A and B are shown apart, each in its own frame.
Chain A
Amino acid sequence: MAPLTPLNARIYSKLGQRGSFSLAIEEVAAQDEELVVMTADLTTLTGLTRFKEKYPGKFLNIGIAEQNMICLAAGMAKEGKNVFVTTYANFLAMRAYEQIRIQLGYMQFPVRVIGTGSGLAMGMSGNTHYGIEDIALMRAVPGLMVVSPADGAETTKVIHEAAHYPGPVYVRLSGVMNTPIVYTEEYPFAFGKAVRLREGDDVAVIATGTMVHESIRAAELLKEKGISASVLNMHTIKPLDTAAIRNACTRSNLIVTVEEHSIIGGLGSAVAECISETAGSPRLLRIGIPDAFQKVGDYRYLLEQNGLSAPQIAEKISITFGPGFRS
């Protein structure tokens, strides 16, 4: 794996999380004899055309049959294959939910489930293709790790780490091409360990996926208003880095979660579960997608409609924090 530099960060950004996955999985394939990558008729749309040509013996198309794909992957993992399955996040997390629960959660076969186009990335395709409940569903499965990388570079780290992880993993890929850059240089990445990206005393912003970048920008806007905000990249939603959250509770007066996911059951809920059991914890503001299907539009339109752009996030935090709050 090439070390992260400002130059390849730009390449990963251009490719987006999906394209970064396809680059990383080729690197894994070059070193792993047992690797098998499966798709459910979305070879091109999950960025695997080149992989298929380069590694035909490590590639399987199962057709439009996500449930079959998960069970088949489990059977192959049982026999020692290192299996990655990919298709749109909504089809994996919802159509194949019970298969993930039994074949991966219950039997603990280390299959890596890569959900692409999650959140609102599917834009004009509409609500059938949005992945706004996948974190809630996946984190309810016992024994399943849930990860949502912040940018293209972090996606490559997640894929390389997932290839060696001893249990099943759900990886949520979100955002579109030309995705904003969070990381331009090497940093230590470990599942279950949140990354502190910005220091601040008043507000602790805990974000995941694409919202990490928006939250950093929001923190910059808040600084102009005299509010000091830290930003934590909670790339692993399960198991949750509760130590980092408790630490944020002791240092800040307001905890904010930001995610491109339904307000029900996602990062905000996971953090709420943690801090509600922490004595004397500060107030929590959850920012996410309201509990409703969307008016269809392009990605940026959808983010703005849901109040998920940096200025909107800053505004919400500013209103909640407000002058009264501080006193």
Chain B
Amino acid sequence: MRETALHMAFSAGSNGAHLGGGLSLIEIMATLYGGVLHIDPKNPEWDDRDRFILSKGHGVLAYYPALVEAGFFPSEDLKKFEVNGNYLPGHPIMNMKKGIECSSGSLGMGLSFGVGVALTGKMRNKSYHTYVVLGDGECDEGTVWEAAMSASHFHLNNLIAIVDQNQLQYDGVCSEIMDMGDFKAKWESFGWDATEIDGHDIRALLHAFRCCLQTPVLKPHVIIARTVKGKGVSFMENKKEWHHGSLTQKQYESAIAEIRGVQ
């Protein structure tokens, strides 16, 4: 998936792509679509499917490849990434046939939307879970906390938020731009069951998701996944300049070589 993401970014040419926050999200999306979500790509609107919402809409470099791996559309379609008039732009557009549940791109809305989806599931005694992926920079938005408040108010234990905590936002280090203090304590104080894990460790991710599904507590769950922005490509890792950028041929080849070497 990481290689696919780099290929997509390279193919986008001078339009560029959100590389940093896409690469930090790879293991989270691979775990969700590979081993957690109850979905059926042959029946994308199956009533009892788990719902997934990418609130950090700029994470498409991890999202679209995950949808391909899960079988929602062929890898061939990734050639449509950031191509004029096509359905895979730089921020997702709701497209139920392709497994995309929600349009996003403007930050701070996905969790509220997920609260509405999860609350309806509760009202209807449905078994589905609602998963929402947020960025840590995104949590600067006040609406994230309005949503957090309402999720615990309505006892939405069928709602699981995952924060891709790559510690960098557009302008720099998150704690320097807007210090969140004790991030886990903040979620807990809003009535959430919070867990911190290594967001690149698939076993840890699987375990965390399993715990969310098995715990009897009547609280919404948040998995704070510590990640590295630009993960896997040394010249991008922890560099704010790669939040959004375009790759030269040389950079692309070097990044691919590094990814293959790592694997």
**A-to-B contact residues, CB < 8 Å:** 57, 60, 62-63, 65, 67-68, 70-81, 98-99, 102-103, 106-107
Q: A63-B150, A107-B102 are contacts. A74–B113 as well, Cβ < 8 Å?
A: yes
Does B112 reach chain A (CB closer than 8 Å)?
yes
Partner of B146, one of A67, A75, A80, A106: A67
B94 touches A68 (CB 8 A): no
Q: Are B94 and A71 in contact (CB under 8 A)?
A: no
Residue of A nearest to B94 (CB): A107
Find out whether the CB atom of B109 lies under 8 angstroms from the CB atom of A76.
no
Smallest CB separation, A63 vs chain B (Å): 7
| CA of A85 to CA of B94, assembled, Å | 22
Given contacts A60-B119, A75-B119, A76-B120, 6 further A-B contacts (CB under 8 A): A63-B150, A68-B143, A71-B147, A76-B119, A79-B116, A99-B109
* Binary A-proximity of B149-168 (CB < 8 A = 1, otherwise 0): 11001000000000000000
- Specify which chain A residues have a CB less than 8 angstroms from the CB of B150 in the assembled complex: 62-63, 65, 68, 72
CB distance from A103 to the nearest CB of B (A): 7
Tell me if B116 and A74 are in contact (CB < 8 A).
Answer: yes
| 0/1 string, B107-129, CB within 8 A of A gives 1 | 00100111111111101100000
Closest B residue, CB atoms, query A101: B106
State whether A78 touches B117 (Cβ < 8 A).
yes
CB distance from A56 to the nearest CB of B (A): 12
Interface centre among B101, B112, B118, B124, by most chain A C-beta atoms within 10 angstroms, is B112
Partner of A68, one of B101, B106, B147: B147
Scoring A68, A78, A103 by chain B CB atoms within 10 A of each residue's CB, the highest score goes to: A68
Partner of B116, one of A57, A65, A73: A73
Q: Which label, helix, strand, loop or mixed, suits the secondary structure of the B interface?
A: helix
Given A76-B117, A79-B117, do A65 and B103 touch, yes or no (CB 8 Å)?
no
Q: Closest 4 CB pairs between A and B?
A: A75-B116, A71-B112, A68-B146, A79-B120
Interface band, chain B = 20 to 34
Residue of B with least CB distance to A72: B116
Knowing A75-B116, A76-B120 touch, does A65 contact B149 (C-beta < 8 A)?
Answer: yes
- The secondary-structure label for the interface of chain A is helix
Q: Is the CB of B143 within 8 A of A67?
A: yes
With contacts A63-B149, A63-B150 taken as known, whether A78 is within 8 angstroms of B106 at the C-beta atoms is: no
Q: Shortest Cβ distance from B152 into chain A, in angstroms?
A: 12
Instruction: Give Cα A98 to B108, complex, Å.
Output: 11
Task: Decide: B116 and A80 in contact? CB cutoff 8 A.
Answer: no
| Cross-chain contact B116 with A76 (CB below 8 angstroms) | yes
**Cα distance A275–B94 in the bound complex, in angstroms:** 37
What is the chain B residue whose CB lies nearest that of A78?
Answer: B117
A72-B113, A72-B115, A73-B116 given; A79·B121 CB < 8 A: yes
Whole-angstrom CA separation of A64 from B64 in the bound complex? 36
Nearest CB of B to A107, in Å: 5
Residues of chain B from 53 to 98 with CB closer than 8 A to chain A in the complex: 94
Q: Check if A102 sits within 8 Å of B119, measured CB to CB.
A: no
Tell whether, in the assembled complex, residue B116 and residue A78 are in contact, meaning their CB atoms are under 8 Å apart: yes
Q: How far is the CB of B125 from chain A (nearest CB, A)?
A: 13
Least distance between B84 CB and chain A CB atoms (Å): 19
A79, B120: Cα distance in complex, Å = 7
Cβ of B102: which chain A residues have Cβ within 8 Å of it?
A: 78, 107
Q: State A78–B117 Cα separation when bound (angstroms).
A: 7
Inter-chain CA distance A81–B103, complex, in Å, is 19
Docked Cα-Cα span, A106 to B113, in Å, equals: 14
Q: How many Å from the CB of A36 to the closest CB on chain B? A: 8
Distance in angstroms between the alpha carbons of A144 and B233 in the assembled complex: 44
Contact B109 A80 (CB under 8 A): no
A313 CA / B112 CA spacing, docked (Å): 45
Q: Is the CB of B106 within 8 A of A71?
A: no
